[in-house]
Structure 1
Amino acid sequence: MFAVTKRLLLRPGWIEEAPALTEAIADKRIARNTARMPWPYRLEDAEEYLSREPDPDYPSFQIIDRTVDPVRMIGGIGFMEGEDAPELGYWIRPDSWGHGYATEAAQAAIAAVRSSLGYGRIEAGHFVDNPASGRVLEKLGFRRTGRIAPRFSRARNRDVDCVMFTLEEEDAAQTVPSALAA
């Protein structure tokens, strides 16, 4: 599955990109804000991740900035099995923070999975000490559920409180089309 926006290309990762993925994640601030990413993130971690068989029900994408030459990997976004619905997760490399890439990528990824896989409700969350991610979710139309759940952070090696959100299909209707202006 692929998606294209005005600035980004979302596509599957390739094993040949393991060094680029390792370099993109070479900042502890990325790993500590995710549940599943180890720290330190080594080449072997990237190779293991990129060699996994893709799950057709829960796609993941590398986020490629296509406005620069050469193009450059600036993050990752994907879906995993959640408690009651598919769950969205993403990361952006720190030198690309503050440019709207997470919002743009998430809009495109959500549109793609809704179109291809029929996703209705989508869940997401952010660690309480990462409020910037909460602002991205709110821009996307996600609503707080009122629940804070402990989530294990592999990089921190402990449970961290996670603010939970949900996105119903009708909540995102006004935000998704703008992301697809390629």
Structure 2
Amino acid sequence: MRSLISPRLLLREWEDKDADFVLDMYSRDEVVRFLGARPQALHDRSEALTRLERWRSRQDDVHAVWAVQDRRSGRLLGTVFLVKLMASGEPLQTADETEVGWHLHPDAWGNGYATEAATAVLAYAARAGVSTVYAVTYPENAASQAVCRRLGMRHLGQTDRYYNMTCELFTTES
């Protein structure tokens, strides 16, 4: 997995030693409320380790899930990812389309980190030959929709094609 660097951030591979941060971030209702068709908070460190392993299983030559770290302080801030979308159905199936996304710890909200991290990931995707990238958000998630717009993504409207839920769909295609 390739690390990425932006002006303020290091995007790096998640390590098991990061499990306490993952537990802290993903145990918060304000973080998980917009994640998946049935949002579920983590409850213990073993669930955080399982989450890290699941992220590793979604990696390939292009796709990855990165830890977002402040370059100056070394403090972890959240997650950014470039993964295959999951098509609706039982069970969910890997789709052909690629998704960019981000989850930040509430302590990191409002500082432009999501936009900066996603910009680095989209540049990486372009270098890797991924010409079209999508983002999906809950219809109520105005903050993530604002990030999509700051990234220059175009809003395609609502869809239920992914994750067994109705999402707002954004694309990098002009």
- Measured in 1, the distance between the counterparts of 2:66 and 2:47 equals 16
CA RMSD in angstroms, aligned pairs only: 2.1
In structure 2, the gaps of 5 or more residues are: 86-94
Give 1:106's match in structure 2, choosing from 91, 108, 118: 118
Report which structure shows greater RCO (CA 8 Å, sep ≥6).
Answer: 1
2:46 is aligned with 1:44: yes
1:142 maps to what in 2?
153
Gaps of 5+ in 1: 153-158, 172-182
Q: Say whether residues 1:56 and 2:61 are aligned partners.
A: yes
- 1:41 deviates by 4.5
Quote the offset at 1:84 in angstroms: 4.8
After TM superposition, give the deviation of residue 26 of structure 1 in Å: 3.3
Task: Please name the residue that 2:171 is paired with.
Answer: 166
Alignment correspondent of 2:75: 72
Aligned match of 2:139: 128
Distance 1:118 1:38 in 2: 34
Question: Following the alignment from structure 2 to structure 1, what is the Cα–Cα distance between the partners of residues 52 and 36?
Answer: 18
Alignment coverage as a number of residue pairs? 160
TM-score (norm 2): 0.82
2: CA distance, partners of 1:45 / 1:13? 15
CA distance in 1, matches of 2:72, 2:6: 11
Q: For each residue in 1:69-116, what CA deviation from the matched residue of structure 2 results, as whole angstroms up to 9, or x when unmatched?
A: xx111110112213452011210111111110000000001111221x
Q: 2-side partners of 1:30 and 1:58: how far apart? A: 23
**Does the CA-based 8 Å contact 2:67-2:76 persist in structure 1?**
yes
* Paired-residue identity, %: 28
SS at match of 1:85: strand
